[in-house]
Amino acid sequence: MASLAGAGALQAADLPLKAPSAEPIFSLTDPYLGLYGGGAWSAAGYATPDAICQFGGFFCPGGASGHNQPFYQGAGSVPAQYDLSRSLVGGGTAGFNWQTGKTVFRLEGEAGTIRMSGVGEFLTNGRHPCNPATPLNPPCSNYDAFSSLGNWYGTLASRVGIAGDALAPAWSEGNRALLYFKAGAALGRFETGVTSSNFPGATFALINYSAAQTVAGVALGGGLEWAFSGAWSLKFEYDYLGFDRTVQACGLLTGHPRIVEVPSSTFCTTTPMHGINTATVGVNYRF
């Protein structure tokens, strides 16, 4: 018996020590779908200059020599100033994560709804705004500029992030927190134009036109994502959509009161666009 016990002890001593099994690293690699919502606001105010006649002719203000004359002389030097309203945003997200170590790469597309708009009066006869109740005292035209962004927008961006406990120890057990940055392209629909009525001194000359364009820009941003339960994750994100473009709108004068277009009377305005900021909260589900 003693010899058997001794042999067993020697055999046990020859066995290699087995290391404890390491906890598997949580991975974000997978395709995913998500929903998000939040708010948007403009990065700068808007200014639309007076409409300018594109061809010399009798119907341009100033008579036959009125080439490149403003629509309302006196308004041309003071653009209409206004801000776009803030907007709620919301939509869907689709993408794919690829994680290597603690670095996560992502290609992501978003599409959502947005509606930002603004209207500004042209100031005529110096600093006096138009008063529809007394259009001739001070002299003015009931003459406005307007712009809007919406009702949709979209982005396509690549993201790179770092996952790990060092980012947020209270949240990121098992590398479940991801701090990321993103860059890509953005698309939106922008409309601008001018409208007038009761134009003093020349009531036949009304101007009402607009133009809408799908405009491209850049998308830059970043955020924090936390995988809170299995395949589900929660994200907080800020994005800047750089729609820094100019959009031109042109149209003919219309006769009053029968509202017929006047030939050889094309007028145009050019409105510079600005970028917008968005702050959103979203939830993603990885497959």
Give Cα separations from 241 to 7, 21, 203, 221, 273 (angstroms): 76, 47, 42, 9, 11
By mean pLDDT, which of 64-78, 108-122, 237-251 is the weakest? 64-78
For position 52, what pLDDT does the model report? 84
End-to-end CA separation in angstroms for the chain:
59
Q: What is the largest CA-CA distance in the chain?
A: 126
Bigger pLDDT: 252 vs 173: 252
Angstrom distance (rounded) from CA 143 to CA 80: 9
Residue with tokens 């924090």: 224
Mean pLDDT of the chain: 78
For position 78, what pLDDT does the model report? 74
For position 258, what pLDDT does the model report? 57
By mean pLDDT, which of 17-21, 91-95, 106-110, 225-229 is the weakest? 17-21
Highest mean pLDDT among 29-33, 108-112, 166-170, 204-208 belongs to 108-112
For position 147, what pLDDT does the model report? 96
By mean pLDDT, which of 53-57, 71-75, 268-272 is the weakest? 71-75
Cβ neighbour number for residue 243 with a 10 Å cutoff: 21
For position 218, what pLDDT does the model report? 97
Q: For residue range 163-221, what is the model confidence (pLDDT) as tens digits?
A: 765 444 444 455 578 899 999 999 999 999 998 865 554 445 678 899 999 999 999 99
Q: For residue range 36-71, what is the model confidence (pLDDT) as tens digits?
A: 999 999 999 999 988 888 875 555 654 445 456 677
For position 184, what pLDDT does the model report? 97
Bigger pLDDT: 44 vs 8: 44
What's the token pair of residue 27? Answer: 């991975």
Q: CB-side exposure of 197: number of CA atoms within 13 Å? A: 4
For position 170, what pLDDT does the model report? 40
List of domains in the chain: 26-53+72-245+270-286 (2.40.160.20)
